[in-house]
Structure 1
Amino acid sequence: MDAMNEMLSRAADRTIGVVRGIGDDRFGLPTPCTEYDVRALLGHLSWVAAMMAALARKEQVPPQDTEPAALEGRVRDMVAAWADPAAFEGESPMMGLPMTVVFQMGLGDLVFHGWDLARATGQDYEVDTETAEATLAYIEQMAPMARQNGVIGEEVAVPADAPPFERALGLSGRDPAWKP
């Protein structure tokens, strides 16, 4: 579990770094997630982090609150919640999925949306090899169900020899070459 928590912590640091680089004047910019502009995506990610922290603690999920200003604190709380080995035990009563899969969902949201925000605002977003490979393995497993439930878009074709994170982006319905 230590390696997973380290991966989540690195992803949190990267994404928070991107968030800190976003001024209010960029809130209206489009993102690779066509249903969200930057402000809405910040709000979505803020709520996802709060939800993932509650799920890790086996607590009631809070009402949806998409306040972008709360994002950094919620992401830090998410990392702290998943640092407890008990977070990985059993299944999520809300989702009916093993808690290890719920963790992967949270990591995926943090990484994919961190990349989305970086792209939308002209920032870099580097993903380490371990996280790229874990994100690819997760999205390979979950993409069919996620697509069926309308959570992600249709796969974007990416060369088979592309780096793991680019392949993960394509599977998640994102074009690795997307620009605003």
Structure 2
Amino acid sequence: MNEMLSRAAARTVNVVRGIREDQYGLPTPCAEYDVRTLLGHLSWVALMFEALADKEPMPPEDNEPGALESRVEGMVAGWSKQEAFEGESPGMGLPMTVVFQMGLGDLVFHGWDLARATGQDYEVDKETGEAMFVYAEQMAPMARQNGVFGDEVAVPQDAPPFERALGLTGRDPGWKP
């Protein structure tokens, strides 16, 4: 699983490196976030999932976009240890395997959001696309109830798994700014 996270991290960091400052105000597929705000959110998410992997207390919210790359590296390092996957999260009360999937999902889906908003490519490998579909399908009811996923967007059943996962999270795979 950590290989999938490493690939997702590299893919997302590559997108982040391609974002110009003049693109910070652009809309994203997450209607409540522009590019800068989503960069900050993803930065804090990476910090939070690193702490969760290390079974440390949740850090205070810190939406520093400039720290995103180093925080993603820390997240990957935290989940590279087998013990990160053991037991339940003290902060969330969920199995650590589910917490890992949540972190991977944030990295992949928000990486896609940032790529779409800034006109970059974001191709997921087959394994990640299938994993994101399974994760989104399992989490959608609870995630919608908690306001994490939007209303499902209809996607053809024969669409690739990642596009179907995007629809389950409330994203339109064809979204353009």
**TM-score normalised by L of structure 1:** 0.98
1:9-31 superposed Cα distances (whole Å, 9 cap, x missing partner): 00000000000000111000000
Shift of 1:136: 0.6
> Which residue of the partner structure matches residue 151 of structure 1?
148
In 2, distance between residues paired with 1:162 and 1:96? 34
CA distance in 2, matches of 1:58, 1:26: 36
Q: Is 2:177 the partner of 1:177?
A: no
Aligned to 2:81: 84
Counterparts in 2 of 1:125-136, with a 5 A limit? 125-136=122-133
Partner of 1:50: 47
Could you list the runs of 4 or more consecutive aligned residues of structure 1 that deviate by over 6 angstroms after TM superposition? none
1:177 alignment partner AA: G
Report the Cα distance in structure 2 between the residues aligned to 1:23 and 1:114, rounded to whole angstroms.
15
Asked if 1:96 is matched to 2:97, the reply is no
- Equivalent-residue separation in structure 1 for 2:74 and 2:132 (angstroms): 21
Partner of 2:157: 160
C-alpha offsets along residues 135-165 of structure 1, whole Å, 9 cap, x if unaligned? 1100100000000011110000000010000
Alignment of 1:123 onto 2:120? yes
SS at match of 2:159: coil
**1:93 deviation in Å?**
1.3
TM alignment of 1:63-82, pairs within 5 A: 63-82=60-79
Match of 1:26 among 19, 23, 28: 23
CA distance, structure 2, for counterparts of residue 8 and residue 68 of structure 1: 20
Give, in whole Å, the separation in 2 of the partners of 1:53 and 1:114.
17
Q: What letter matches 1:128 in structure 2?
A: D
The SS at the match of 1:107 is helix
* Deviation of the 1:61 alpha carbon: 1.2
TM-score, with normalisation over the residues of structure 2? 0.99
Number of equivalences: 177
Percent of aligned pairs sharing the same letter: 79
